[in-house]
Amino acid sequence: MKLIDRLNNREAQIGILGLGYVGLPLMLRFSEVGYPVLGLDIDAAKVEALMAGRSYIEHIRAEAIGQALEQGFSATTDFSRARACDALILCVPTPLNQYREPDLSYVINTTEAIVPHLRAGQVVSLESTTWPGTTEEVLKPRLESTGLKVGEDVFLVFSPEREDPGNPTFTTRSIPKVLGGVTPACTRVGQALYGQVIDEVVTLSSTRAAEMTKLLENIHRAVNIGLVNELKIVCDRMGIDIHEVIRAAATKPFGFTPYYPGPGLGGHCIPIDPFYLTWKAREYGLNTRFIELAGEVNAAMPEWVVGKVADALNERGKAIKGSRILVLGIAYKKNVDDRRESPSMILMERLEAKGAAISYSDPHVPRFLPMRKHDFDLASVPLTPETLAATDCVLLATDHDRFDYELIKAHAPLIVDTRGRYREPAAHIVRA
């Protein structure tokens, strides 16, 4: 097949649709091995930054963007240029709406933007996490509305992203790539697409199996985090340190995997993806009670943390209203700048609604840029003995390694620790 030959020979033009935390690393990998790559995004600011050799994601260096430009990479908002691409890879968000139902608007809008420019001999790959059946039920009819036949004229696959920002151990190349095609021919083309840039491609029998695989991965994490979050509350009531218990249990060399509690779930996957399956399961008359219960536990964590802050202040003769609360870390996990679905956002809003004067410190997020759901007119506060001493409460929400924890401990009058960073008990440290 001519398309497979072009992919195997690295002659195929690769189009990446969506240049965020998933699309940008993938673009760099394809460019690194010599493919000509075109990035397409509706955000003109992102396109402008990339064409100027700038990165807007902390862990991606500007030098890497510059090297991609030298290799022939270009970015555009002109989706008509999709016609020149042999492969079109969709890396767009799949959030939930206000009713916790799947919002496929980004996937649908992106697909409809390229449909007028499709031609025979192209492969389309969806990487966005979604419910089983999306590729065949949502994308396939739109592609075939052009008169092109999937599996013969154009090829359609689902291959979920597995990026882990900030993890130095695993890269785009080294993380195995799950892949399912609409037809066996689609799978073969998909394998050729990713086989040159990913060390291991794991092919499945269908797009639905690949879609379910991604959901299982994230549901597994969500459920286990929900379990330890619930146990955290039980241990707190019993006067037991849950982190000590987890560390001890993790010494068992078999049958146990450690998961850690926190102030809630964050990121673009774990808080969202399980609800894609619960929504789809209703179509089959099923209730995913286990998954939904874990979701309820995790969603309740920010409110529980706010209660711990209120209790800690109350013991010191203060109320949340009027208290100066410094939130440490507003990214969803440590050592990254990604704020998507971060529980810190909810904590800040809840505390501000109760009358607290909120500030934050995060070395990875120097200024709070508006988000779809959240907005604060704030900049990161430098951590000094003076700024720490001026607070009523320091709320450790995300435990970045770049924080000076001894400095914080020495000068903050009250620390509410949601991450178990402080192992030794102290009168002014409260675990949450």
Is the same domain home to 200 and 234? no
- Quick one: pLDDT at residue 27? 97
Distance CA 125, CA 108 (A): 13
Is the same domain home to 192 and 280? no
CATH number at residue 325: 3.40.50.720
Is the same domain home to 22 and 168? yes
Is the same domain home to 282 and 348? no
Tokens read off for 296:
């309820």
pLDDT above 90 (res 346): yes
pLDDT digits 0-9 by tens, 349-369:
999 999 999 999 999 999 998
58: domain range?
2-205
Count CB-CB contacts under 10 A for residue 323.
21
Structural domain ending residue among the three candidates 205, 237, 272: 205
Mean pLDDT of 150-171: 90
Parallel/antiparallel/unpaired status of strands 122-126 and 324-328: unpaired
Distance CA 79, CA 74 (A): 13
> How many domains does the chain fold into?
3
Mean pLDDT of 258-272: 83
Is the same domain home to 46 and 159? yes
Is the same domain home to 287 and 405? no
Is the same domain home to 271 and 312? no
Is the same domain home to 249 and 111? no
Q: Is 213 exposed, middle or buried (0-12, 13-18, 19+ CB in 10 A)?
A: middle
- Quick one: pLDDT at residue 221? 93
pLDDT above 90 (res 234): yes
- Quick one: pLDDT at residue 268? 65
Parallel/antiparallel/unpaired status of strands 154-158 and 177-181: antiparallel
CATH number at residue 279: 1.10.1040.10
Q: How far is CA 305 from CA 184, 244, 263, 271, 429, in A?
A: 50, 19, 6, 17, 14
| Catalytic site residue from 91, 235, 269, 393 | 269
Structural domain ending residue among the three candidates 184, 205, 226: 205
- Quick one: pLDDT at residue 97? 79
Residue 269: active-site member = yes
Q: What's the pTM value of the predicted model, to 2 decimals? A: 0.91
Distance CA 357, CA 327 (A): 11
Distance CA 179, CA 127 (A): 10
Is the same domain home to 98 and 154? yes
Q: What is the mean pLDDT of the chain?
A: 94
Is the same domain home to 113 and 82? yes
Is the same domain home to 48 and 191? yes
Is the same domain home to 68 and 198? yes
Q: Which of 100, 96, 98, 148 is nearest to 124 (CA)?
A: 148
Q: What percent of the chain has pLDDT over 70?
A: 99
Count CB-CB contacts under 10 A for residue 377.
7
Structural domain ending residue among the three candidates 297, 313, 347: 297
pLDDT digits 0-9 by tens, 44-93:
999 999 999 999 998 899 999 999 999 999 999 999 999 999 999 999 99
222-253 burial string, b = 16+ CB within 10 Å, else e?
bbebbbbbbbbbebbeeeeebbeebeeeeeee
